[in-house]
Amino acid sequence: MLRNTESSYGLIAITLHWLMAIAVVGLFALGLWMVELSYYDPWYQRAPKVHKGAGILLLLTLVLRLVWRLGNPRPRPLPSHSRLAVRTASLTHALLYVLLFAVMLSGYLISTADGRSIDVFGLFQVPATLTGLPNQADVAGDIHLAFAITTLVLSGAHALAALKHHWIDRDRTLLRMLGRG
């Protein structure tokens, strides 16, 4: 089934969730790797282009995911979940969305600080609209790294919570996001 039900996530929500999880981890790893490349490395020019293009595609995926989430019912919390657990999960999800937008906005500000648009794998260009701020690339770079680390840490806590539900609580939380709930 494509759509969510009251008891399970649909294929679209599951696919968007895991696609974004893989992309976030991959972009984080690529970002850390590419800033260490020397000028003479063959990936010195290529890696940032891949990082920027994938970041823009991740932003589009995030927008699609939010639109899908707004127009699609979320499964009800399991009866075993406490009110605190439900609120914590909701807050964590909201914070992850805010952090992802902040990471992408700061990445955009780094990439367009010099007035050049971002090429997305030759498919389209994202124009530079906000340029010339004092130390724009440096300030946005510091923010980008801090929010990316925070996103990864919070995502790790989110994953650990899912594993706790699966192995300790022995409930269907993780199975629902794997499409087997």
pLDDT tens, position by position, 68-105: 999 998 899 999 999 999 999 999 999 999 999 999 99
Q: Does residue 142 lie within any of the structural domains? A: yes
Backbone angles phi, psi at 120, to 5 degrees: -105, 85
Give the whole-angstrom CA distance, residue 154 versus residue 135: 28
- Which amino acid is present at 50? V
What is the extent of the structural domain holding 163?
A: 11-177
pLDDT score recorded for residue 88:
96
Looking at the 3D structure of the chain, how many domains does it have? 1
What stretches of 93-173 adopt beta strand conformation (E)?
118-120, 124-126
The pLDDT-based confidence of 45 (bands split at 50, 70, 90) is very high
pLDDT tens, position by position, 129-156: 989 899 999 999 999 999 999 999 999 9
First to last CA, the chain: 12
Q: Does residue 5 lie within any of the structural domains? A: no
The pLDDT-based confidence of 166 (bands split at 50, 70, 90) is very high
Tell me the H-state helices in the chain: 11-34, 46-70, 83-111, 136-164, 173-177
Residue 181 has pLDDT above 90, yes or no: no
Q: Does residue 62 lie within any of the structural domains? A: yes
Give the whole-angstrom CA distance, residue 53 versus residue 31: 12
Q: Does residue 3 lie within any of the structural domains? A: no
pLDDT score recorded for residue 179:
83
Q: Does residue 2 lie within any of the structural domains? A: no
